[in-house]
Amino acid sequence: MTSLATFIVDKRNLFFLLTILMLVFSAFSRNWVEVESELAAYLPSDSQTRQALDVMEEQFTTYGTAQIMAANISQAEAEALQAQIAGIKGVQGVEYDNTEAHYNKSSALYTVTFDYDEPDEACLTSLDEIRSALSAYDLYVSTELGNAEQEAIDSEVSVIMVYVAVIIVLVLLFTSQTYAEVPVLILTFVVAMIMNLGTNFLLGKISFVSNSVTSILQLALSLDYAVIFCNRCKEEHQNLPIREAAIVALSMAIPEIGASSLTTIGGLVAMMFMQFKIGADMAVYLIKSILFALLSVFVVMPGLLVLFGKLMDKTEHRSFVPKIPFVGKFAYKTRFVMPLIFVAAIVLAFPLSQKCPYAYGESSLETPVLNETQIAQNMIDDTFTSTNMLALMVPAGDYEKEAAILEELSAYEEVDSAMGIANVEAMDGCMLADKLTPREFAELTGLDYEAAQLVYAAYGASQEELGQVLGNLVNYQVPLIDMFLFVCDQVDSSLVTLDDEQTAMLDEAYTQMTEAKKQLQGSEYSRMLVYLNLPESGDETYQFLDTILETAQRYYPDEDVYLAGNSTTEYDFQKAFSRDNLVVSVVSILIVLVVLLFTFQSAGMPALLILVIQGSIWINFSVPYLLDQPLFFMSCLVVSSIQMGANIDYAIVVANRYQELKSQMSHRDAIIEMMNFVFPTIITSGTILAAAGTR
């Protein structure tokens, strides 16, 4: 280690050059990262939501939609705005009437459908034009277009990073012993962060969660490494020149910090065993960030310490961090009492932590600071009855079964309405899926009866049903939508000739039916929209999802049916996370325990550290239950990673220092001295983490 440390310190200019080149490259390459904006993309491939979304993407066109609320307007103004919105380029339709569902408390709610598929950027362009056209009004927009959640997180993380940067500087100034060490620590952090972001593209697509929070978690998990090494170097520098001090400190820090990082990495590796693949995504990118943090501390920081060595000597100041001998004395005096109290707290906290209420969607979360999207959604929900829409997909081809399913679902009190091809009215009370004879079709559309018979015969021939047609053409029945679209294809042919009025009517109906078919009928599946009066989250909602699937499955016992929506996504999150949370806890404990066994080469100390840290995690996760405040399930992963990663570092520093000192002095004095030594390190990173969390 001494030879390696000497090489790193003496070749510091070479490493500075390589670092600068890497930073320049990373400044450009960080823009090459492909970001996945949907959490549902990381659900297991056999989950209901993942399969349903795949079918929807393959079979149907999903047009972009948005809910737009205009506040403080009259009904007359609301009607005028409907026409104004409908006239904007790219708007396919605007749903609005004077009922309480669309006008309430002097506010109007418009459901806007665009001409483009949901992923098409043209939807956002049209939405921006609506915002611009209605800029004089108080507008609140709720939509799933674009990456609103990702953009909100990116924006908030950017603010948090600035906030954290200020906190870091203030805390480091307070806990430092020389002002010049502050830029050394900050440069070390920044180098690791930029190089990590600049290499994300090498691992392929990254989730928007990992892309947004990795830098903060990297700081949280690796802050201790730089502080520990810097403090070790300052300690050696009291007796050695700065170059020699850096070499000795680095040779001692590599195994110590390396062992500490292995426990953190081990805890993250456990996340790779999750069914919900967001865990593996976060684990891979966080492990990479820790490796770059180690690289920066071991390769860049020694050179910076030597470079700033003279300035550090000149800017020494008295320590602002007080000595805390009373903590060590208290710990020693209560050494037989506090462990019992802690064990009792663990025994009480463990069952409570297992009852921690988790939230799987934003609808059930209350945050002290709301972003623009949350404010808009809350305003709409407070003014109008919120809707919870689901998409039910069944095998196509049997309109009678679909009509029966829609009728049965509509009878449930949990369902506001259900819509599909089978119950959409076309004209004069006739549904799109109603089967009509040639005479009925002629009377409905105003087409000549003989022409209708001719068209029916041609349709039968195209469907290879000519025998049935020739045998009983008068009673031959075809679903209205199928015959209507067939007639449209035959216009201007020898089969069908229409006057101008009929052509105009046909064109309008053709457009409506074509759009309906794109959204509700695919080549293999039909899609039905089910609107619930239940919230998106909650056990009652999740149970009713099973009821919907069971209802559809009765009509298609040997075929697959699928259900998609925000509620199904949250339900799948719950089912995956229930298993994953247990697996991650068990695997992380086992991995960290193995690493600690090799580090301390004994069984007692690793078992003690695991008990203390895991006990702290259980106590922490019992708090949401006691406060009856749901915890977002993704927060559980993030918090667990930080708490296990950061606390294991603290524990190793404490344990190593105590073992060094107890051979030189009494156990009482060793505890007191150990507390005085580790307090600046722990208070530095701990304060920064706590301050960042408050934002």
Q: What's the CA gap between 385 and 380, in Å, rounded?
A: 8
Q: What's the CA gap between 16 and 19, in Å, rounded?
A: 5
Encoded amino acid at 485, one letter: L
**Stretch 19-39: mean pLDDT:** 87
Q: Which two tokens stand for residue 269?
A: 């590796």
Per-residue pLDDT band for 307 (boundaries 50, 70, 90) equals very high
Residue 232 has pLDDT above 70, yes or no: yes
Q: What is the pLDDT of residue 23?
A: 92
Q: What's the CA gap between 315 and 241, in Å, rounded?
A: 16
Residue 616 has pLDDT above 70, yes or no: yes
Q: What's the CA gap between 231 and 682, in Å, rounded?
A: 12
Residue 492 has pLDDT above 60, yes or no: no
Q: What is the pLDDT of residue 298?
A: 93
Q: What is the pTM of this model?
A: 0.76
**Element containing residue 140 per DSSP (H, E):** strand 138-142
**420 φ/ψ angles, rounded to the nearest 5 degrees:** -160, 180
Instruction: Give the tens place of pLDDT for each residue, 71-108.
Output: 999 988 988 998 899 889 988 888 888 888 889 888 99
Per-residue pLDDT band for 363 (boundaries 50, 70, 90) equals low
Sign of CA dihedral 429, 430, 431, 434: positive
**Residues in the chain, total:** 695
- Report the mean per-residue pLDDT for the chain: 83
**395 φ/ψ angles, rounded to the nearest 5 degrees:** -55, 135
Q: Which two tokens stand for residue 568?
A: 């199904």
More confident residue, 152 or 74: 74
What percentage of the chain exceeds 90 in pLDDT? Answer: 16
What are the chain's domains?
Answer: 2-37+150-362+571-694 (1.20.1640.10), 60-146 (3.30.70.100), 388-534 (no CATH)
Q: What's the CA gap between 114 and 515, in Å, rounded?
A: 11
Contact 303, 6 (CB under 8 A): no
Cα end-to-end span (Å), the chain: 41
Instruction: Count Cβ atoms below 10 Å from residue 17 Cβ, excluding itself.
Output: 10
Per-residue pLDDT band for 497 (boundaries 50, 70, 90) equals low
Q: Which two tokens stand for residue 180?
A: 């010049």
CA dist 498 to 223, 440, 452, 501, 624, Å? 77, 18, 12, 8, 69
- In terms of Cα–Cα distance, which of 376, 363, 416, 367 is closest to 537? 363
CA dist 265 to 209, 228, 688, Å? 19, 18, 21
Instruction: Give the tens place of pLDDT for each residue, 520-540.
Output: 888 889 999 999 988 888 889
Q: What's the CA gap between 66 and 78, in Å, rounded?
A: 17
Instruction: Give the tens place of pLDDT for each residue, 339-357.
Output: 999 999 999 999 998 888 8
CB-count burial class (<10 Å; 0-12, 13-18, 19+) for 2: exposed
**Stretch 658-687: mean pLDDT:** 83
Reduce the secondary structure of 159-219 to three states and give it as a string: HHHHHHHHHHHHHHHHHCCECCHHHHHHHHHHHHHHHHHHCHHHHCCEEHHHHHHHHHHHH
Q: What is the pLDDT of residue 174?
A: 79
Q: What's the CA gap between 152 and 35, in Å, rounded?
A: 15
**Stretch 456-472: mean pLDDT:** 75
Sign of CA dihedral 23, 231, 604, 615: negative
Q: What is the pLDDT of residue 18?
A: 94
**Stretch 645-649: mean pLDDT:** 71
Residue 14 has pLDDT above 90, yes or no: yes
Residue 308 has pLDDT above 70, yes or no: yes
**Stretch 628-657: mean pLDDT:** 77
Instruction: Count Cβ atoms below 10 Å from residue 299 Cβ, excluding itself.
Output: 18
Per-residue pLDDT band for 371 (boundaries 50, 70, 90) equals low
Q: What is the pLDDT of residue 553?
A: 93
Q: What's the CA gap between 430 and 440, in Å, rounded?
A: 10
Neighbouring residues of 22: CB distance < 8 A, sequence distance ≥ 6: 195, 198
- In terms of Cα–Cα distance, which of 369, 425, 375 is closest to 156? 369
Residue 154 has pLDDT above 80, yes or no: no
More confident residue, 638 or 418: 418
Q: What's the CA gap between 233 and 248, in Å, rounded?
A: 8
Contact 123, 145 (CB under 8 A): yes
Residue 437 has pLDDT above 70, yes or no: yes
* DSSP letters spanning 372-423: HHHHHHHHHHHHS---EEEEEEEESS-HHHHHHHHHHHHTSTTEEEEE-GGG
Q: What is the pLDDT of residue 545?
A: 93
Residue 182 has pLDDT above 70, yes or no: yes
Q: What is the pLDDT of residue 549?
A: 93
**Element containing residue 563 per DSSP (H, E):** strand 562-565
**Stretch 625-630: mean pLDDT:** 88
Encoded amino acid at 187, one letter: L
Q: Which residue's structure tokens are 């009517």?
A: 505
More confident residue, 365 or 105: 105
- In terms of Cα–Cα distance, which of 443, 589, 426 is closest to 520? 426
Q: Which residue's structure tokens are 């510091």?
A: 12
Per-residue pLDDT band for 544 (boundaries 50, 70, 90) equals very high
Residue 695 has pLDDT above 70, yes or no: no
Q: What is the pLDDT of residue 472?
A: 78
Angle at 556 between CA 550 and CA 558, to 5 degrees: 105
Q: What is the pLDDT of residue 374?
A: 75
